A and B are shown apart, each in its own frame.
Chain A
Amino acid sequence: MNKNQYSEDLAHIRSMMERSSRFISLSGWAGILPGIFALAGLALAVRFIQTSTSNGMYEDGIHGEIQLMNRLGLIAFGVLALSVFSSWYMCMRKARMENQATWTPAIRNMLLHFCIPLVAGAIIAAWVTDREQWSLIAPILLSFYGLALIQVSQFTLKSIFWLGLIEIALSLPAGVNGWGIPALAIGFGFAHIVYGVMQFAPKSAKGDSFEAGL
Chain B
Amino acid sequence: MKDLIGALDKTFDNRIRLGIMAALSVNESIDFNTLKTLMDVTDGNLASHLKGLEAAAYIIVQKTFVGRKPMTRYKITKPGRKAFETHITALEKLIRFK
Contact = CB atoms under 8 A, between A and B. Distances in A.
Interface of A: 1, 3, 6-7, 9-10, 12-14, 16-17, 19-21, 99-101, 104-106, 214
A124 to B, nearest CB: 34
Interface of B: 5, 15, 18-19, 21-23, 25-31, 33-34, 37-39, 66, 69, 71, 88, 91-92, 94-95, 97
B18 A9 contact: yes
Contacts of A10: 88, 91-92, 95
A3 B31 contact: no
B15 to A, nearest CB: 6
Contacts, number: 65
B13 to A, nearest CB: 9
B19 A16 contact: yes
Given A6-B91, A10-B88, A17-B25, A99 B31 contact: yes
A20 B26 contact: yes
B34 A100 contact: yes
Contacts of B37: 214
A20 B23 contact: yes
Contacts of B21: 13
Given A6-B91, A104-B28, A99 B23 contact: no
A3 B95 contact: yes
Nearest to B22: A16
Given A3-B97, A16-B22, A16-B38, 7 more contacts: A9-B15, A10-B88, A19-B23, A99-B69, A101-B34, A105-B27, A214-B37
B22 A12 contact: yes
A87 B56 CA distance: 42
A17 B23 contact: yes
A17 B33 contact: no
Contacts of B88: 10, 13
Contacts of B19: 12-13, 16
Nearest to A99: B33
A105 B27 CA distance: 7
Contact of B18 (A3, A12, A214): A12
A120 to B, nearest CB: 28
Contacts of B91: 6-7, 9-10
B4 to A, nearest CB: 10
B11 to A, nearest CB: 13
A101 B15 contact: no
Nearest to A1: B5
B22 A6 contact: no
Contacts of B27: 20-21, 104-106
Given A12-B15, A13-B88, A99-B71, A20 B31 contact: no
Contacts of A17: 22-23, 25-26
